[in-house]
Amino acid sequence: MAQHEHILSAKLYVIIWAALMCLTVITAGVAFIDLGPFNTVVALVIATFKALLVVLIFMHVKYSSERLTKTVVLAALFWLMLLLGLSLMDYGTRHFT
Amino acid sequence: MSDSPIALEHPTELQHHFADMEQQKDASTFGMWLFLGTEIMFFGGMFAAYLIYRRWYYNEFALGSRSIDIWLGTINTIVLICSSLTVALGVRAAQMGKRKLLVILLLITMAFGVAFLAIKGVEWYQKYEEHHVPGSSFNASDIVSVGQKYGIHIDQGHSQIYFSLYFALTGLHALHMLVGLGIFTVLTYLAWKGKYTPEYHTPIEIGGLYWHFVDIVWIYLFPLLYLIDRKPFH
């Protein structure tokens, strides 16, 4: 365990904020362009990228010395994917019968 | 008791069952992340319901999504991202022991939070005036006629499911914002009293984690509710 705390620079926070703002404008703009089924894909990829920036930098997960934190984050995501993934495997394949 | 050297030396914020401040902080942070894990599952159930109904009733979801004001949604996303920045800078101010800056940043964060809820209120009121609130006065004939114009069949019952999920998800999110504002009110008061120092500011960090989490939920709600289908009709 590190004794001293990791203080990130204000500049880094502002850069992340600017990136999040740009991605918000991009995702809203792209929604008006017809990409077929890829509209949803692009929207979710951008949202996930934004969420990653917030979790890793703003929530300090990237810099946490505590492995437990990272484990909890990954376990929570894994559990969510079980819920959404297995639900879709059921409802998404019912019309194949 | 006073003859114990340990009792004399340790900081007042350190609870006696922790070895040192570092361990205490790690335990608190771990606990908060566990709580956020349960929150992910809490929202996850509703996201799963959304996913399944969206697959079944895609047309109603697409046209329902079109009826929501995309500008209000985008502005609210920007408001929340700005509030996350002020929280992150606030935690940094606490780490450096800048009390005044911390209080100011917490107050700005709360102002963003209130602005978010106000904009959300305007949006909900629009839906109320359009009779898009699920219930006995629900009427989506405007959405049905848009559908007819472009040859898309709309079932009003299925439209109501979209708006039920819209209100449930944004409502639950707004409730989290209210709780966040409550937490931040207490944090701001204690910060003003000078309770947080570079050695001890765990509540600020943990309150910040909660605020960022609520921001992340919105980062997903925005595309899922507002951006289902905005491309031009043809």
Quote the ipTM score.
0.92
**Cα distances (Å, whole numbers) of residue B135 to A47, B56, B191:** 32, 21, 44
- Chain A residues with beta carbon closer than 8 angstroms to that of B73: 28
Q: What is the pLDDT of residues A24-44, one digit of tens each?
A: 999 999 999 999 989 999 999
B135 pLDDT above the threshold of 80:
yes
Distance CA A11, CA A8 (A): 8
Quick check: A84 and B44 CB within 8 A?
A: yes
- What pTM was estimated for this model as a whole? 0.93
Give the number of A-B residue pairs with CB atoms closer than 8 Å: 138
What does pLDDT average to over chain B?
A: 94
Which chain A residue shows the shortest CA-CA distance from B226?
A: A28
Q: How confident is the model at residue B8 (pLDDT cuts 50, 70, 90)?
A: low
Q: Which candidate from A27, A46, A84 shows the least CB-CB separation from B51? A: A84
pLDDT at A97: 66
DSSP assignments along chain A, one per residue: --SS--PPPHHHHHHHHHHHHHHHHHHHHHTTS--TTHHHHHHHHHHHHHHHHIIIIIT-GGG-S-HHHHHHHHHHHHHHHHHHHHHHHHHTSGGG-
Task: Give the amino acid at B26.
Answer: D
B5 pLDDT above the threshold of 70:
no
Quick check: B222 and A76 CB within 8 A?
A: no
pLDDT at B2: 52
CA distance A22 to chain B (A): 10
Q: What is the pLDDT of residues B15-53, one digit of tens each?
A: 888 888 888 998 999 999 999 999 999 999 999 999 999
Does A27 contact B at CB distance below 8 Å? yes
Does A1 contact B at CB distance below 8 Å? yes
Does B82 contact A at CB distance below 8 Å? yes
Determine what percent of chain B is predicted with pLDDT higher than 70: 96
Does A89 contact B at CB distance below 8 Å? no
- Average pLDDT (B184-199) is 96
- Chain A residues with beta carbon closer than 8 angstroms to that of B228: 40
Work out the end-to-end distance of chain A between its first and last CA atoms, rounded to an integer number of angstroms.
55
Contact B94, B173 (CB under 8 A): no
Lowest-confidence region among A4-8, A73-77, B69-73 = A4-8
Which chain A residue shows the shortest CA-CA distance from B46?
A: A84
Q: What is the pLDDT of residues B52-98, one digit of tens each?
A: 999 999 999 999 999 999 999 999 999 999 999 999 999 999 999 99
Q: How confident is the model at residue A1 (pLDDT cuts 50, 70, 90)?
A: very low
